[in-house]
Amino acid sequence: MCDYPILSGTQEVCTVSGDFTGDEIVLYGSGTGSAVLQVAAIGGADESETWGKRAPWCDYFGPVNGNTVGITIFDTPSNFRYPTYWHVRNYGLMTANPFGLSYFHNDKSRNGSHTIDKGAVFPFAYRLYFHAGDTWAANVAGKFHDHISPPKVEVK
């Protein structure tokens, strides 16, 4: 659930790039947003501590009309190379990227490509969490736990 209008024009799988300064959250396919704070599950904050790092989730938050709101991408344990590597920038880009190993490790011998056999299924599952407040007020870590350990529901 989200309390703000959301416009999405993403061009990559699970890329969030946003502008948090207007009356709405605008998601872009490339980084054209304003600076906000990102926090990763590993405890890193800001591009210098989160870019190229592996974590099960990454969160951005910032001001919208005087309110703090955020967007989190949750990786899923069944995904390829879980926990994923994050391609994040301070200007608002946040992308789950399990393929950029040579860049993240600054080692051209670490090829991140993966061959998919003809006819094979290669699924990815990510969850987006739109929230009020910063990472801690929104209990992002707890919501991630709910994502990977959903409650059992029995219909009688």
Range of the domain at 91: 6-148
Q: Are 86 and 96 in contact (CB under 8 A)?
A: yes
List, for residues 103-127, the tens digit of each pLDDT value: 999 999 999 998 888 888 889 899 9
Please indicate, yes or no, if residue 97 is contained in any of the structural domains: yes
Please indicate, yes or no, if residue 131 is contained in any of the structural domains: yes
Please indicate, yes or no, if residue 36 is contained in any of the structural domains: yes
Please indicate, yes or no, if residue 104 is contained in any of the structural domains: yes
Q: Please state the domain count of the chain.
A: 1
3-state secondary structure of 90: coil
Please indicate, yes or no, if residue 153 is contained in any of the structural domains: no
Please indicate, yes or no, if residue 155 is contained in any of the structural domains: no
List, for residues 54-100, the tens digit of each pLDDT value: 999 999 888 888 888 889 999 999 999 999 999 988 877 889 999 99
pLDDT of residue 20: 45
> Tokens for 52?
């190229």
Does the bond joining 123 to the residue before it have cis omega, within 30 degrees of 0? no
Alpha carbon distance 137, 17 (integer Å): 22
